């Protein structure tokens, strides 16, 4: 059976060209970038050239790009580092952030290191800007705001300029988890009112286990790991040269075809929205994902009109039919706790209906959407 992969917000397939570049790097550039001899210098040159390319693509300076093992490490380093090194005592975030943000925050709050403030979230998945303004006004001490650019479950895409400007008017640092946007949108980080951001290569057809942080220069952030001076002291440990080079290649390929891929994905998403509504009347789209101006074109989060009994076996049934998608967020899969994002956005009654996230890559086709919709429609009738 041919599998239909509609879970690209969880992870993407690696571009074959990226694999080739990585293989070559593993074979030829085995040096430790910290070694001063020729083999080390060649590896170092690869790392620095990747840093330069990524910085240039994102309107940043090379020293503002710090390589990490991915989004989780980036979020942890920025949030815990801000408390450890920058004297941040109050952090404002939202209940619909990824756990890579929420868990370090609740952990630090439980240890008494910070006071954690949660901004109200509107039913469409956007932070309530009046509430954010109120919170920022009420905290005189050193503070940081952490709000993700694109929500990984419902796709709502905040206005980084509006949020960042508000933060800076109140002297707050601003961090945004951009794991679902970098590679799909060409952000110009240096021009945005942002102090920190994170990205992860496996969300844009690169390897797993590598990502980067954007750390605006002169913020004074330090690292969490001790034991090496790599990455300007912000990330100790020998650099994974092959992963870094693979991420560079994946970003290059993603941005080379960005315009055509975006057009294709927008069409695919609107096709999916209409096909689901047509075949399954009563389908509702969560957050703002019905609106292409307010949400990413890479995903649809649909609440489906199935009763409790049908809902229970829904993902199992789709899996049997070769359709890979996610219940809420894939990072939660295997857990029975349900989605904290949908729990925040939906009423208990709305949450009785099953919600599924279908997330796309440019290689997905309308035929695959047709198959998905016909499997769902047949299941509804069964």
Nearer to ligand PLP, 40 or 209 (CB): 209
Q: Can residue 211 be called a binding residue for ligand PLP (CB under 6 A)?
A: yes
Q: Can residue 189 be called a binding residue for ligand PLP (CB under 6 A)?
A: no
For the question of residue 331 being annotated catalytic, the response is yes
Nearer to ligand PLP, 200 or 283 (CB): 200
x-or-dash string of contact with ligand PLP, 62-81, rule CB under 6 A: --------xxx---------
Give the integer Cα–Cα distance in Å for 300 and 269: 7
Nearest approach, Cβ of residue 331 and ligand PLP (Å)? 5
Task: Identify each DSSP E strand in the chain by its residue range.
Answer: 4-5, 65-68, 90-93, 115-118, 143-146, 173-177, 196-200, 211-215, 284-285, 299-303, 323-324, 355-359
Q: Can residue 54 be called a binding residue for ligand PLP (CB under 6 A)?
A: no
DSSP secondary structure letters along 228-265: --TGGGTS-S---HHHHHHHHHHHHHHHHTHHHHHHHH
Give the integer Cα–Cα distance in Å for 236 and 217: 18
Within 141-170, which residues bind ligand PLP (CB under 6 A)? 148, 152
Q: Can residue 29 be called a binding residue for ligand PLP (CB under 6 A)?
A: no
Nearest approach, Cβ of residue 199 and ligand PLP (Å)? 9
Q: Can residue 183 be called a binding residue for ligand PLP (CB under 6 A)?
A: no
Q: Can residue 98 be called a binding residue for ligand PLP (CB under 6 A)?
A: yes
Nearer to ligand PLP, 29 or 301 (CB): 301
**Near ligand PLP by CB under 6 A: residue from 12, 25, 200, 283:** 200
Among residues 199, 212, 216, 222, the alpha carbon closest in space to that of 80 is found at: 222
Within 237-296, which residues bind ligand PLP (CB under 6 A)? none
**Near ligand PLP by CB under 6 A: residue from 177, 195, 239, 261:** 177
Could you give phi then psi for residue 5, rounded to 5 degrees?
A: -95, 105
Contact 288, 155 (CB under 8 A): yes
Give the integer Cα–Cα distance in Å for 357 and 350: 16
Question: How deeply is 8 buried, as exposed, middle or buried, from its count of CB atoms within 10 A (0-12, 13-18, 19+)?
Answer: buried
- Which one of the listed residues 167, 289, 325, 331 is annotated catalytic? 331
Which residues are known catalytic residues? 331
Interacting residue ranges for ligand PLP, rule: CB under 6 A: 70-72, 98, 100, 148, 152, 177, 179-180, 200, 211, 331
């Amino acid at each position: 059976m041919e599998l239909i992969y509609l879970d690209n917000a969880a992870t993407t397939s690696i571009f074959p060209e990226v694999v080739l570049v990585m293989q070559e790097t593993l074979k030829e550039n085995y040096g430790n970038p910290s070694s001063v001899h020729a083999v080390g210098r060649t590896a170092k040159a690869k790392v620095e050239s990747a840093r330069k390319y990524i910085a240039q693509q994102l309107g940043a300076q090379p020293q503002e790009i710090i390589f990490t093992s991915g989004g989780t490490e980036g979020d942890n380093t920025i949030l815990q580092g801000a408390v450890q090194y920058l004297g941040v005592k109050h952090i404002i975030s939202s209940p619909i952030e990824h756990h890579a943000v929420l868990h370090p925050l609740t952990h630090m709050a439980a240890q008494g290191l910070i006071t954690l403030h949660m901004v109200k979230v509107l039913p469409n998945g956007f932070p309530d800007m009046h509430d954010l303004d109120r919170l920022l006004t009420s905290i005189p001490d050193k503070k940081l705001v952490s709000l993700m650019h694109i929500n990984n479950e419902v796709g709502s895409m905040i206005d980084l300029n509006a949020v960042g400007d508000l933060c800076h008017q109140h002297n707050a640092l601003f961090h945004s988890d951009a794991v679902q946007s970098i590679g799909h949108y060409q952000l110009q980080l240096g021009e945005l009112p942002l102090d920190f951001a994170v990205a992860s290569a496996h969300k844009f057809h690169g390897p797993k286990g590598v990502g980067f942080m954007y750390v605006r220069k002169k913020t004074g952030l330090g690292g969490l790991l001790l034991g090496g001076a790599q990455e300007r002291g912000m990330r100790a440990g020998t650099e994974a040269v092959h992963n870094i080079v693979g991420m560079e290649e994946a970003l290059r390929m993603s941005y080379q075809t960005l315009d055509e891929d975006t057009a294709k994905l927008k069409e695919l998403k609107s096709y999916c929205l209409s096909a689901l509504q047509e075949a399954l009347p009563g389908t509702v789209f969560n957050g703002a994902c019905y609106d292409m101006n307010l949400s990413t074109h890479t995903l649809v989060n649909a609440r489906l009109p199935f009763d409790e009994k049908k809902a229970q076996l829904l993902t199992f049934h789709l899996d049997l039919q070769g359709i890979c998608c996610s219940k809420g967020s894939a990072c939660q899969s295997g857990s029975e706790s349900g989605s904290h994002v949908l729990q925040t956005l939906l009423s208990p009654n709305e949450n009785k209906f099953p919600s599924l996230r279908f997330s796309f890559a440019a290689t997905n086709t309308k035929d695959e959407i047709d198959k998905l919709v016909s499997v769902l429609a047949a299941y509804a009738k069964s």
